[in-house]
Structure 1
Amino acid sequence: MGTCKEIYPGIFKIVQSKPRRIAPPVNVYIIAGDDGLIFDAGYGDDTSIQLAGDAINSIQNRNKNWRILRVLPSHSHPDHFSGLKQLKSHYGLKVMLTEQMASVLSNKHAYRNSYKLSTLQKYRYSTVFERISELPLQVVFRTMYKKVYGIAFLQSHDTTVRPGETIAINGYNFTIIHGPGHCNDHIMLYDNKEGILFAGDNILRSIYTWLGPPRSNLQEYFDTLEACLRLPNLKLILSAHGSTIHNPKERIKEIIEYRKLRTRQVYSLVANETHGITFARLLNSIYPRSLERRWLAKGWIIVTLEYLVNNNILTFEGRKIKLGANDINTV
């Protein structure tokens, strides 16, 4: 079956790979049964779709009672939804979306609007010159996303799903869990009997998930991670990137502590500046030697600042970031 492997009885994983500096390898999971489901649609380029199609055929040939009929993304980031349209047109899969995902993925304008910063965020975190200078780069990335990711939008879908509903497949009963933080429309699937969590991008084994405005929220991410810790029988996490997590609660605690450490780092840098600090200086303090890393990583810093400002631990005076009324130990 090539790159499609059975990682748990009736659950298969495909790894769609790209040059790492262009796009991350992404895991696409197939839960086999007479009404089988693909969780995360992956990329939409011809090679990725062919890989998924070969896996579907191989799985169905393995057991004549198995039919892969549905596909559901974990969230509306391009490495998770781009394959939806082609999987539907090539293999007849029914597309399942939440209402929130459907509104974002209906067309390119809705999708782009979902990433627009507010006027206040633009003022705080960039200058007019910076925004103008980034325009050519945005055009390049849009072109690259369309070609490399194979992005395609859907004017309609087949089934609307909602958090709290259960998807039954071949003896598994997966509850849909709303899990915002990384992305505001993120969902996860959890089978309590087997203790299996399809975590999407929320929990990764060896790296920390990307956060960035306006669709990431650090408080919501903490809440999602704490909710995962409370899952009563959690034994195994199947993530959208990387390998299987066999020590789920330990890994979740590591991620929480890492995010708290980064939060205190941002707070400390502001606290050391008597007259406040601009975002540009703060960013340069954390990533002093790498323009590329600054560009890629500034999202988590913005999300962390928003979290601290919302908790009145930091505050803005114009473009200057200063200490707020509350202590860092209140969060």
Structure 2
Amino acid sequence: MRKPLLTGKQYSRPEFRQLTSHVYEVVNSVARTYIIQDESGHALLIDCGYTSNAPISANPHRFIDHLTPYLKTELGIETVEWFLPSHYHDDHLVGYPALKAQYGTKLASSPELKDILENPHNYDMPCLVPQGVQVDQVIKRGQPFHWRGIDFYVEQHPGQTLYHHLIWFSVDGRKFLCIGDNISGVSFRENRDYIHSFIPKNRTPVSSYWDMPKQILDHAPDFILTGHGGGVLFEKTKIERWQAWMERWQTLFTQMIDQPHPNIGMDPHWIEFYPYKVRITPGETLIFKVIITNYQAKAQIYQLHFLSIEGVNLWPEKTEIAVPANEKCVCQIQATFPEKIETHSLPIVADVTWNGKRLGEIAEAIAYW
């Protein structure tokens, strides 16, 4: 008998594990949900994943709230005031709308993640949520976020994805560092040394491989809050072994990737349209940005030839741009769409020539109606 594509799975109630007097995790949520509470029924959550993993294995993008009914009865929580996401992936964000609907929970983020959280359709990235969420407060690098006597720090650092936070705070005489998905969940299921989830589509600069374990060593927390392995005690020797593994991996990728700089081969969006996907009306004119990242130590010349389907007028059709060393440059293209549209989606592509070498149609945007 052929196995069905989607299988149902029974939901289970949340299981809470107490890490310290004021910090809990939901051990059967995917991704892990971390709860910091005070003595008066107030709470702050870091991430809020699917309870019991059922939607991941059955019907993604559907969150059924099997968490909030138990927050009061199990933990005495009356309200969740703030939500801090470790990164933009749906399995970490999916429960936030339920928190907002139930408690009016507000969301805080670094400036670097604000737009992808609020406007996910602007990006061609994996694991986006279907609808954006409002960022109520932007936390600048090095700026403490004060909540109920606890200072939280929320900073963007490349990890499993470019759009990723490190979050750290101290409470109950212990320091906590949330690292999102920097350590693969496989490390915990198999009780092995730490490894990293290698997903280039997430935009993971090669240099970030060495940075991830170094950040943990620099912080030297008491607890590491991981995305798929729960809260674990900091073991310096184990992180040092991971750092050696990541350094070796970084060396191997640098050697293997046949590019002047390995990030050119590792980053699928070193040239990208912004916005990536946009809803249009017939006859509408829109401006798209094209963002080019030059990872090399010298200036590069790019020729761009813009193309679309018949009836879409693009201006300019061609452009040339010089991008300084280790810099980004932005050019614009205007697209006017026909009054009568025969197809649901209207792609716009950039045919790229780099220093005289044609790379082809390697960047695109999608207009739809």
- Bin for the TM-score computed over the shorter chain: 0.5 to 0.7
Return the alpha-carbon distance in structure 2 between the equivalents of residues 76 and 188 of structure 1: 13
Distance change >3 Å, CA 55–CA 172, structure 1 → 2: farther
Return the alpha-carbon distance in structure 1 between the equivalents of residues 152 and 210 of structure 2: 23
* Largest Rg, 1 or 2: 2
On the 8 A contact 1:94/1:157 being kept in 2, the answer is yes
Q: Name the structure 2 match of 1:235.
A: 222
Q: How does 1:126-145 map to 2 (within 5 A)?
A: none
Q: CA deviation at 1:241?
A: 0.8
Q: How does 1:1-331 map to 2 (within 5 A)?
A: 2-17=14-29, 25-33=30-38, 34=40, 35-43=42-50, 48-59=63-74, 62-63=75-76, 67-112=79-124, 115=125, 151-154=130-133, 156-169=134-147, 171-192=149-170, 194-203=174-183, 206=187, 207-213=195-201, 215-231=203-219, 233-266=220-253, 302=266
Q: RMSD in angstroms over aligned alpha carbons?
A: 3.8
On the 8 A contact 1:174/1:189 being kept in 2, the answer is yes
String of CA shifts for 1:181-222, please: whole Å, max 9, x gaps: 322231122235512212212245724233414622121342
String of CA shifts for 1:252-296, please: whole Å, max 9, x gaps: 3232222222234445667xxxxxx79xxxxxxxxxxxxxxxxxx
Return the alpha-carbon distance in structure 1 between the equivalents of residues 202 and 176 of structure 2: 30
Mind listing any 5+ residue stretches in structure 2 that lack a counterpart?
1-12, 188-194, 271-294, 299-354, 360-369
- Give secondary structure in 2 for the equivalent of 1:103: helix
Return the alpha-carbon distance in structure 2 between the equivalents of residues 267 and 186 of structure 1: 23
Distance change >3 Å, CA 251–CA 15, structure 1 → 2: same
Return the alpha-carbon distance in structure 2 between the equivalents of residues 202 and 303 of structure 1: 17
TM-score w.r.t. the length of structure 2 is 0.54
On the 8 A contact 2:14/2:26 being kept in 1, the answer is no
- Give secondary structure in 1 for the equivalent of 2:200: coil
Q: Percent same amino acid among aligned pairs?
A: 22
- Give secondary structure in 2 for the equivalent of 1:253: helix
String of CA shifts for 1:83-104, please: whole Å, max 9, x gaps: 3233212332112223332211
**Alignment size in residue pairs:** 243
Distance change >3 Å, CA 68–CA 311, structure 1 → 2: same
Distance change >3 Å, CA 210–CA 37, structure 1 → 2: farther
- Give secondary structure in 2 for the equivalent of 1:164: coil
Return the alpha-carbon distance in structure 2 between the equivalents of residues 311 and 248 of structure 1: 37
Distance change >3 Å, CA 262–CA 223, structure 1 → 2: closer
Return the alpha-carbon distance in structure 1 between the equivalents of residues 202 and 297 of structure 2: 18
Return the alpha-carbon distance in structure 2 between the equivalents of residues 26 and 75 of structure 1: 11
| Stretch deviating more after TM superposition (45-54 or 31-40) | 45-54
On the 8 A contact 2:61/2:90 being kept in 1, the answer is no
Q: Which has the higher contact order (CA 8 A, sep 6+)?
A: 1
Which residue type is aligned with residue 131 of structure 2? A
Q: Name the structure 1 match of 2:333.
A: none
Q: CA deviation at 1:224?
A: 4.1
TM-score w.r.t. the length of structure 1 is 0.60
Distance change >3 Å, CA 215–CA 269, structure 1 → 2: closer
Distance change >3 Å, CA 12–CA 219, structure 1 → 2: same
Distance change >3 Å, CA 10–CA 175, structure 1 → 2: same
Q: CA deviation at 1:310?
A: 5.4
Return the alpha-carbon distance in structure 2 between the equivalents of residues 56 and 194 of structure 1: 23
String of CA shifts for 1:13-50, please: whole Å, max 9, x gaps: 11455xxxxxxx31011111254211013249797451
Distance change >3 Å, CA 185–CA 2, structure 1 → 2: closer
Q: CA deviation at 1:311?
A: 8.6
On the 8 A contact 2:179/2:226 being kept in 1, the answer is yes
Return the alpha-carbon distance in structure 1 between the equivalents of residues 123 and 71 of structure 2: 29
Return the alpha-carbon distance in structure 1 between the equivalents of residues 143 and 26 of structure 2: 26
Return the alpha-carbon distance in structure 2 between the equivalents of residues 165 and 225 of structure 1: 23
String of CA shifts for 1:150-187, please: whole Å, max 9, x gaps: 74322x33222223222344554332233223222311
On the 8 A contact 2:112/2:156 being kept in 1, the answer is no
Return the alpha-carbon distance in structure 1 between the equivalents of residues 244 and 204 of structure 2: 18
Q: Post-superposition, which runs of at least 4 consecutive aligned residues in structure 1 deviate over 6 A?
A: 44-47, 316-320
Which residue type is aligned with residue 225 of structure 1? P
String of CA shifts for 1:103-150, please: whole Å, max 9, x gaps: 1122342133xx3xxxxxxxxxxxxxxxxxxxxxxxxxx8xx68xxx7
Return the alpha-carbon distance in structure 2 between the equivalents of residues 234 and 249 of structure 1: 10
Distance change >3 Å, CA 223–CA 29, structure 1 → 2: same
